[in-house]
Amino acid sequence: MCNQQRRHFISRLGLGGFMLTPLATALSGCSNKGGWPDGMAEIKWDRDTCTRCSMVISDRRFAAEIRGGPDNAVFKFDDPGCLAFWLKEKSEKFPWLTDPATRIWIADYNSKSREEMSWLDPKRAQFITKQSPMGYNFAAVAMPMPGSLDFTDMRQHTLAKGK
């Protein structure tokens, strides 16, 4: 009724598949899932909160992250303005913020989706006026546009505005 060779092959396949599972799991950890740049910690949308204001990071177009220091600490932000204020507020506590090894990423406002994010170095990005989660109203873009500001000017405008 049942072919013994076929049954034996199926049992071997099941055992082999079970043994390959740890290998497949280990290899899947090597991929750059979600398009995150090297060194950047994944932002868990709608779960991670902003380091400065504690608001949930939901709007991908304004997200930012800093990674650095002796512990390779990660700080996430929901708005470029929160990033600007936090850099000013924490410069004495974290002197490594000015270290060239410290990495800062900011979302490109023109990214297609959460799955296809583009991340910029804010020091090379341009900032345009867009309504942002915390009302600082700046968004990062890759190329200069009419009326855009560089990172230094955006920080000065944000800090002058206050909050």
pLDDT digits (tens, 9 = 90+) for 74-117: 999 999 999 999 999 999 999 999 999 999 999 999 998 878 89
Residues in the chain, total: 163
Enter the DSSP assignment of 62. G
Closest CA to 70 of 48, 27, 102, 46: 102
Give burial (CB, 10 Å; 0-12/13-18/19+) of 52: buried
Please report the pLDDT score of residue 18 as a whole number.
46
Say if CB 140 and CB 108 are below 8 A apart: yes
Alpha-carbon 161 to chain mean position: 26
Q: Report the SS3 class of residue 2.
A: coil
Q: Report the SS3 class of residue 98.
A: helix
Chain position carrying tokens 């979600």: 34
- Return mean pLDDT, the chain: 86
Q: Report the SS3 class of residue 39.
A: coil
Domain boundaries, the chain: 60-161
Say if CB 117 and CB 107 are below 8 A apart: yes
Say if CB 67 and CB 102 are below 8 A apart: yes
pLDDT for 86-95, tens place per residue? 999 999 999 9
For 87, list phi and psi in degrees, rounded to 5.
-60, -40
Find the mean pLDDT for residues 134-145. Answer: 97
Predicted structure pTM score: 0.77
Average the pLDDT over each of 29-33, 34-38, 142-146 and give the range with the smallest value: 29-33
